[in-house]
Amino acid sequence: MKPDGTLLKRISNEAGRVKVDIISRPAWSPDGTTIAIATEDSPGNFEIVLLDRAGEFRKKLTSNIADEFDPAWSQ
């Protein structure tokens, strides 16, 4: 959405997009171009991935048997 709250757009589970179920609070990058989220990679396994601001998959940050939640950015 725009800073004024207009043009709200859903970025999860939308037709034509990478289907992700956001498990934790999304964390916007300091420059506002990327969103870090926790998502269920496989049944019972949660990983951190990056999406661009349109909700398109960019990069998987974690890949292990431990569960990762609540990503945060350092400044």
List, for residues 27-71, the tens digit of each pLDDT value: 999 998 999 988 877 787 888 989 887 778 889 999 888 888 889
Specify burial of residue 48 (Cβ count, 10 A radius: 0-12, 13-18, 19+).
buried
What's the whole-model pTM score? 0.69
**Measuring CA to CA, which residue among 69, 67, 24, 21 is closest to residue 44?**
67
Place of tokens 């959405």: 1
Return d(Cα 68, Cα 61) in angstroms, integer: 10
